[in-house]
Amino acid sequence: MPQVHFSLDDESIARLAREAEARGLSLSRYIATLVAREAPSEWPNGYLDRVVGAFADAPLEEPSDLPLDEPDASV
Protein backbone atom coordinates (compact mmCIF):
# COMPACT_ATOMS: atom_id res chain seq x y z
CA MET A 1 0.00 0.00 0.00
CA PRO A 2 1.37 3.46 -0.87
CA GLN A 3 2.44 5.70 1.96
CA VAL A 4 1.63 9.38 2.33
CA HIS A 5 3.71 11.71 4.45
CA PHE A 6 2.44 15.00 5.84
CA SER A 7 3.14 17.33 8.72
CA LEU A 8 0.90 18.21 11.66
CA ASP A 9 1.40 20.23 14.80
CA ASP A 10 2.01 18.34 18.04
CA GLU A 11 -1.46 19.09 19.43
CA SER A 12 -3.21 17.66 16.35
CA ILE A 13 -1.07 14.51 16.42
CA ALA A 14 -1.82 13.99 20.11
CA ARG A 15 -5.56 14.48 19.50
CA LEU A 16 -5.55 12.02 16.61
CA ALA A 17 -3.54 9.49 18.61
CA ARG A 18 -6.01 9.71 21.54
CA GLU A 19 -8.99 9.24 19.22
CA ALA A 20 -7.32 6.30 17.49
CA GLU A 21 -6.53 4.62 20.81
CA ALA A 22 -10.08 5.19 22.08
CA ARG A 23 -11.39 3.40 18.98
CA GLY A 24 -8.86 0.58 19.24
CA LEU A 25 -7.21 1.55 15.96
CA SER A 26 -3.67 2.34 14.94
CA LEU A 27 -3.06 5.99 14.14
CA SER A 28 -2.59 5.08 10.48
CA ARG A 29 -5.86 3.12 10.32
CA TYR A 30 -7.76 5.90 12.11
CA ILE A 31 -6.48 8.55 9.68
CA ALA A 32 -7.39 6.27 6.77
CA THR A 33 -10.97 6.03 8.08
CA LEU A 34 -11.15 9.83 8.34
CA VAL A 35 -9.96 10.24 4.77
CA ALA A 36 -12.37 7.58 3.48
CA ARG A 37 -15.26 9.31 5.23
CA GLU A 38 -14.34 12.90 4.33
CA ALA A 39 -12.92 12.57 0.80
CA PRO A 40 -15.80 11.50 -1.46
CA SER A 41 -15.15 9.10 -4.30
CA GLU A 42 -18.15 10.37 -6.31
CA TRP A 43 -19.51 13.73 -7.37
CA PRO A 44 -21.67 15.21 -4.59
CA ASN A 45 -25.45 14.96 -5.12
CA GLY A 46 -26.61 17.71 -7.47
CA TYR A 47 -23.08 18.86 -8.29
CA LEU A 48 -23.37 18.51 -12.06
CA ASP A 49 -26.82 20.14 -12.06
CA ARG A 50 -25.37 23.13 -10.21
CA VAL A 51 -22.32 23.39 -12.48
CA VAL A 52 -24.14 22.90 -15.77
CA GLY A 53 -27.03 24.99 -14.44
CA ALA A 54 -24.61 27.89 -14.09
CA PHE A 55 -24.88 28.27 -17.88
CA ALA A 56 -28.69 28.57 -17.85
CA ASP A 57 -28.60 31.96 -19.63
CA ALA A 58 -26.56 30.57 -22.52
CA PRO A 59 -27.32 26.86 -22.89
CA LEU A 60 -24.46 24.70 -24.04
CA GLU A 61 -24.83 23.23 -27.50
CA GLU A 62 -22.83 20.44 -29.08
CA PRO A 63 -20.77 21.87 -31.95
CA SER A 64 -21.26 20.46 -35.43
CA ASP A 65 -18.65 18.07 -36.73
CA LEU A 66 -15.88 19.84 -38.57
CA PRO A 67 -14.10 18.31 -41.56
CA LEU A 68 -10.73 16.69 -40.87
CA ASP A 69 -7.65 18.53 -42.02
CA GLU A 70 -5.83 16.98 -44.94
CA PRO A 71 -2.38 15.65 -44.01
CA ASP A 72 0.52 17.83 -45.11
CA ALA A 73 2.42 15.76 -47.68
CA SER A 74 5.52 17.96 -47.37
CA VAL A 75 6.28 16.75 -43.84
| Whole-angstrom distance, CA of residue 75 vs CA of residue 60 | 37
Q: What is the pLDDT of residue 41?
A: 80
CA distances 75 to 69, 71, 72, Å, are 14, 9, 6
Q: What is the pLDDT of residue 34?
A: 94
Query: Domain-by-domain residue ranges, the chain?
Result: 8-40
Q: What is the pLDDT of residue 31?
A: 95
| Whole-angstrom distance, CA of residue 6 vs CA of residue 75 | 50
Model confidence at 3: pLDDT above 90: no
Q: Are 30 and 16 in contact (CB under 8 A)?
A: yes
20 contacts: CB under 8 Å, gap ≥ 6 = 26, 27, 29, 30, 31
Question: pTM of the full predicted structure?
Answer: 0.54
User: DSSP letter at 62?
Assistant: P
Q: What is the pLDDT of residue 69?
A: 80
pLDDT digits (tens, 9 = 90+) for 17-75: 999 999 999 999 999 999 988 887 888 888 877 777 666 666 667 778 888 887 777 66
